[in-house]
Chain A
Amino acid sequence: MAKLLFFGQLGDLAGGIERTMALSAAHAIGDIVALIDAQDRLLGSALAGPRVRYAVNGEIVAADFQVTDADELAFLPPVSGG
């Protein structure tokens, strides 16, 4: 099962910071967002927002990166610290 992480307001929309998704084959992040969007338009459109970045296994990647069932995919909205 791939692990999906939703930070910041994305976690509120997803109803939790973490969920799992079974991926029988590698999927581009854009395809995973489309799968989520088919079930939850509000979350799907937020994940597709222009200011959301993606990280796979702790490294920033582009939307065409191929995610497998063993990966951890994190959705990173605009940050704010300090």
Chain B
Amino acid sequence: MYDTIIIGAGMAGMTAAIYASRKRMKYEILAKEFGGQFMISGEILNYPGIVETTGTELSKTMQKQMQVNNIKVKEEYVKQIKKQDNHFIVIGENQQYETKTVIIATGSRPRKLNVPGEKEFTNKGVTYCSICDGPLFSGMDVAVIGGGDSAMEAVDFLKDIASKIYLIVKADKLKGHEYLIENIKSNDKVKIIYNAQTTEIIGSKLVNGLKYKKQGKEKSINVQGVIIEIGRNPSTDFVKGFLKLDKHGHIQIDCQTQTSVPGIYAAGDCASGHEYQYVISAGQGAMALIKAARYLASLKK
């Protein structure tokens, strides 16, 4: 019987694992692979104690920290969690784990546009990871879809790579960090199209354009790359019906990271109150583990 099973190896899950390891708890950290959103992040400029870093750099440091604390991520895809008496069974694709507590830190995945051509041209000009595939668009015209921080960060990353960038925004303004908005508005390479609903991604073998609707009229632009940054969906399907979720599918937690089932905690982007900030995910991961440890102590009484 494990003290805790941590599901997910991004910022929240890794922080929980560091604490679990230092508390000498009997635990496993299960994930399809090490690394969450932070791995594919460009610049990170708002983590206290770190002036400036990148996702790749942070991920390397984290791997070193894993070695120091003897943390090994077990490759496992979790399908379900069940309650049995006063403990839980975590059902993975390879194995089952009996545990007294569970920490869920499964994060989120990019939201899809759900328009014709999107699926067909994924990795053929359509991408959800600007820092991965962005450099492939050097000298090309691209469209970034979205109006928030992630979309603006993608534009910022592409500004020295692409020759022209269209930013397709559904709303009538940009929403996010002021410095990003200023940066983007003052760049000649960037054309912002507001009140535009993307309707189709077109191409033959690879993407060559995009159609959108603005004020009832359909328009099109020629682009070789389409970067989709319209938000994220939490990866919580495996606990649907077992834990209480909010209307967007995030696991409902209280201010102590406890879910609707005592003994189960959730942290990071999969949980309600998420703000897609590394420091929040790390903080919640630590809190979830400490609260789980307190819960364990209360079981022994």
A and B co-occur in one complex: no
- Measuring CB to CB, which residues of chain A are less than 8 angstroms from any residue of chain B? none
Which B residues are within 8 Å of any A CB, using their own CB?
A: none
